[in-house]
Amino acid sequence: MPRPSRPALLALAALLALPGALRAGWESIGSLPAAGATASSLVHRDPRVAVSVTALSPEIVRVRYAPTGSFARDHSWAVVRSDLGPARAAVTPGPSASEIVTSALRVRVSFAPFRIAFFDAGGELLDEDDPVRGMAHAGAEVRVWKRLQDDEVVYGFGEKNGRLDKRGWSLGGYHYTMWNTDTYAYDSSTDPMYVSVPFFIVMRNGKAHGIFLDNTFRSTFDVGRESRSLLSFGAEGGELDYYFIQGPHPKDVVARYTALTGRIPLPPRWALGFHQCRWSYFPESRVRLLASTFREKRVPADTLWLDIDYQRDFKPFTWDRGRFPDPGKMIADLRAQGFRVVTIVDPHPTKEPGYPVYDEGIAGGHFVKTAAGTVFEGPVWPSNAAKNAGNSVFPDFTRPATRQWWGGLYREFLDLGVAGIWNDMNEPAVWIRPANTMPPDVRHDNEGLPTDHREVHNLYGMLNSRSTFEGLSRLRPDARPFVLTRSSFAGGQRYAAVWPGDNTADWTSLRQSLPTLMGLGLSGFAFVGADVGGFAHDASAELYTRWIQAGIFSPFMRAHSEAAAADKEPWSYGARHEAVNRRAVELRYELLPEIYDVMEEASRTGIPAMRPMFLEFPEDRETWSRDDQLFFGPDLLAAPVLSEGVVSREVYLPAGEWFDFWTGAPVAGGRTFRVPVTIDSLPIYVRAGAFVFRQPVVQHTGQMAGQPLLVHVYPAPRSEASFYEDDGETMAYARGESARRRFAQRREAGSVTVEAAAVEGPYRPAARDLVFTLVGEGTASRVLADGQALARVEPSAFDAAGTGWTARDGSVTVKVRDRPEALRLTIER
């Protein structure tokens, strides 16, 4: 991955390094008198500036800086503020400095000049305003400069290119902009991208805190780039409204950030299967051929996607009836083969009287307007249509009535059996040069406080997907909505999965996908995946195979390709690669019980499924900048091959004991080593003590019911795990229809005990076997289930046998009938 280029800002950096210097036009807050305090907050004000500092919980403190002297409407699109708990703060006003103390934080506010510093409960300084610059404004722009220590590493910022550690290499630092942008065929230095999440995590010696800037205007973040010892952020308008979020574990920071901004909804299980897309599969016969090819070739898959060419003249909510004469029948037939269909619906209806979406939108005042008050129009896909080409108009998703209207338009598609909706081009992309979006003075309702596009731009995609999500929820209240969006903003994880747009079919892009997706996960977006195979240009057979292998560990796994590129289907690269690609997708399906369990955790806690190494091992400095390996959940460490033509791959395993996923062999951690690889290789390691939940290969998630649950138990003296299940499809889980089971193992000299506690919760899966594999156990003298000896079965007869145990592949495998009551297995040595 190329090192980020350093701009020639040396002169500016030198200027900023001078004590007291601030770029021309910036007015830093000088002294600011106290103007009041409450049980949990301090307010400071003079005629030009108002600042408040408020403890929202023991670990979360909100700072608002209004450069106008008074605070604006307190309204947030991102923050939902659930389960924060009481702050229980002690506020101590003083003559030259005041303090807010909670059980986790001490916040010192000094008045002259006005600066804020955050300390942990033990008195360690976590974060402080730069004494020279502090908070400042220049016209409508607001900014804060904070101290950045040499030993701090920085993560997050949502969908970004470059390394996971945003200090960059050798403290080179990154400068990022938040301004949602359609970036076709981007590379690993492209910025900004499609999604804006103004949130980051700072970690020092394994202890972390986070900062979320709740501001939707164009914002920029400078991580030690302008000056190595400074981190600054600010926006082109609005308040400097930020939340300081204490850890100290980085998982605590992510959990608290997602308590503030919300978590992903639990996806339907089918959405965790394999998705096949291209721009575009048409006509109907080609879609049907695609479906039957998956089943004939026995490559598992759940979802087929229809890109823009299924529509009439690229008009949202229409079908090209020449290409798709009977979409309802086609979708029903595909459903019978175990497929779901997702359709693209972009937010740019054509300006065409007589087209109902246009007519209704005009009648309802639903489209955004120019500064002069006329409906704004601009070219997007419909302007490229062969017939009836025209400009588009754009719904104002900041208006509740418009979100409601647009969401309701999905009714006909759902009635036809469409399973999920794909929202694209919602940065919004508008082909007007040079900005490639709406002009900055376009007007938006902004929930009753009209504003212009500068403030709304970064929200457009999030509110588009919100309107879709809420529409789907209303129209089909008992089905879990599935929405994929290209553009979004902080908090958008509540409504839609995200894919990082138009990546490129090259090795850099594959390599980049890991830090980008992990950065999204750290920033609340736990349901993410990049286009497998790369969108722009053709993929080589080797690249495609490596991408599908890596894609197993993306929460969202979809192959996609641009119109001009060759097919990117698992069988598009010859028989040898077809076999390897099939095996990769099969592994995804074998792991689905585990994947679903980890996604449920993400929906409940915010901790992403795809985790950077440091999230699991924050004290281990080797993990801080490792971004070519990942954890899926807490126990599976994947080191997919990300380079061309290699015969080995470097792996780092943190201290402790590990097991090779494929052979079960123990592997010592605390070291870096090379593993030999061939095209079939996908190095995966399992943490000692893990319980990994699997199933036999199925062709789609509809075949999961009744499959045995395969529980692989990796040795440790003692360990515990829990496993979540529900019907995988409906909202019944939200009413408590789920099941959780706790597992434990205990090893003594002569025996191993494995316990499955009684199932908690009312959900019951279809009748099935429960098959435990005690990895590396070799053999046993006796195996007992609840004290009753089980029959020993020959390995070759085991799969067909009922209850019993066998010794095979270096492990002891035990099969019992699943039942909700507690179960104890004793494996006597």
In the complex, minimum distance from the CB of residue 309 to ligand GLC, in angstroms, rounded to a whole number: 8
Task: Establish if 99 lies at the interface with ligand GLC (CB under 6 A).
Answer: no
Quick check: is 502 catalytic? yes
Contact between 308 and ligand GLC by CB under 6 A: the answer reads yes
The secondary structure of 225-276 as a DSSP string is: SSSTTEEEEEESSS-EEEEEEE-SSHHHHHHHHHHHH--PPPPPGGGGSEEE
Does 484 bind ligand GLC (CB under 6 A)? Our answer is no
43 phi and psi angles, rounded to 5 deg: -125, 135
Give the ranges where 379-495 is alpha helix by DSSP (H).
Answer: 400-408, 411-415, 453-456, 460-475
Q: Minimum CB separation from ligand GLC for residue 387, in Å? A: 18
CA distances from 761 to 593, 724, 726, 737 (A): 17, 10, 10, 7
193 lies in the binding site for ligand GLC (CB under 6 A): no
Residue 501 touching ligand GLC (CB under 6 A): yes
Q: Does 571 participate in binding ligand GLC (rule CB under 6 A)?
A: no
Give the separation between CA 709 and CA 694, rounded to whole angstroms. Answer: 6
Cα→Cα distances 182→235, 344, 486, 538, 620, Å: 20, 16, 9, 20, 37
The H or E element spanning position 90 is strand 90-92
Cβ contact 777:812 at 8 Å: yes
Which residue reads 């996960």 in tokens? 521
Cβ 551 to ligand GLC shortest distance, Å: 16
- List, as one string, the DSSP characters of 682-727: --EEEETT-EEEE----SSGGG-TTPPEEEEE---SEEEEEEEEE-
Choose, by CB under 6 A, the member of 127, 377, 424, 455 that binds ligand GLC. 424
Shortest Å, Cβ 502 to ligand GLC? 5
Judged by CB, which is closer to ligand GLC: 152, or 346? 346
Q: Specify the amino acid at residue 260.
A: L
- Using CB under 6 A, pick the residue from 279, 282, 431, 571 that binds ligand GLC: 279
Between 391 and 423, whose beta carbon lies closer to ligand GLC?
423
- Cβ within 8 Å of residue 184, ≥6 positions away: 501, 502, 536
Q: Residue 322 and residue 769: Cα distance in Å, rounded? A: 49
Nearest residue to 232 via CA among 150, 193, 175:
175
502 is an interface residue for ligand GLC by CB under 6 A: yes
Give me the least distance between CB of 284 and ligand GLC, in Å please.
18
Q: Which is nearer to ligand GLC, 241 or 502 (CB)?
A: 502
**CA separation, residue 409 to residues 118, 328, 466, 729, 809 (Å):** 48, 17, 14, 23, 55
Closest distance of CB 426 from ligand GLC, Å: 10
Neighbours of 292 (CB within 10 A): 12
- List 502, 590, 600, 777, catalytic entry: 502
Q: Beta strand pairing status for 115-120 and 125-128?
A: antiparallel
Count residues binding ligand GLC (CB under 6 A): 10
Tell me 623's DSSP state: G
Minimum CB distance to ligand GLC, residue 501 (Å): 5
CA–CA dist 502, 66 (Å, integer): 38
Q: How far apart are CA 216 and CA 455, in angstroms?
A: 6
Instruction: Round to whole Å and give the CA distance between 287 and 622.
Output: 47
Shortest Å, Cβ 789 to ligand GLC: 58
Instruction: Compare residues 430 and 602 and give the one whose CB is closer to ligand GLC.
Output: 430
Toward ligand GLC, which CB reaches closer, 247 or 500?
500
Please say whether the beta carbons of 571 and 606 come within 8 A.
no
Q: In whole angstroms, how close is the CB of 4 to ligand GLC at the nearest point? A: 24
> How far is residue 829 CA from its own chain's centroid?
44
Task: Check: CB of residue 460 under 8 Å from CB of residue 487.
Answer: yes
Using alpha carbons, list the distances in angstroms from residue 25 to 130, 138, 177.
18, 5, 20
**C-alpha closest to that of 63 among 92, 42, 82:** 42
| Nearer to ligand GLC among residue 220 and residue 423 (C-beta) | 423
Q: ω before 708 within 30° of 0 (cis)?
A: no
Residue nearer to ligand GLC on the CB measure, 427 or 635: 427
Which residues make Cβ contacts (< 8 Å) with residue 252, sequence separation at least 6?
59, 208, 246
Q: Judged by CB under 6 A, which of 45, 143, 403, 486 binds ligand GLC? A: 486
Active-site residue flag, 427? yes
* Residue with smaller CB distance to ligand GLC, 423 or 811: 423
Nearest-CB residue for ligand GLC? 279
Angle at alpha carbon of residue 424, lines to 419 and 428, rounded to 5°: 145
Give the phi and the psi of residue 703 in degrees, each rounded to 5.
-95, 10
307 contacts ligand GLC (rule: CB under 6 A): yes
Q: Is the peptide bond before 434 cis (omega within 30 degrees of 0)?
A: yes
Nearest-Å Rg of the Cα atoms of the chain is 27
Which tokens sit at 664?
Answer: 């079960």
User: Which CB, 424 or 627, lies closer to ligand GLC?
Assistant: 424
* Phi, psi of 705, rounded to the nearest 5 degrees: -60, 130
Q: Is 533 in the site for ligand GLC (CB under 6 A)?
A: no
> Least CB distance from residue 422 to ligand GLC, whole Å?
8
- The residue from 427, 452, 578, 777 that is catalytic is 427
Shortest distance, position 561 Cβ to ligand GLC, whole Å = 8
Active site residue 307: no
Binders in 743-782 for ligand GLC, by CB under 6 A: none
**The only residue of 116, 154, 230, 344 in contact with ligand GLC, by rule CB under 6 A:** 344
Q: Among residues 424, 452, 597, 627, which one is catalytic?
A: 424
Provide the minimum distance between the beta carbon of 532 and ligand GLC in the complex, in angstroms, as a whole number. 12
Nearest approach in angstroms of CB 465 to ligand GLC is: 14
Q: Given the rule CB under 6 A, which residues bind ligand GLC?
A: 279, 307-308, 344, 424, 486, 501-502, 535, 560
Active site residue ranges? 424, 427, 502
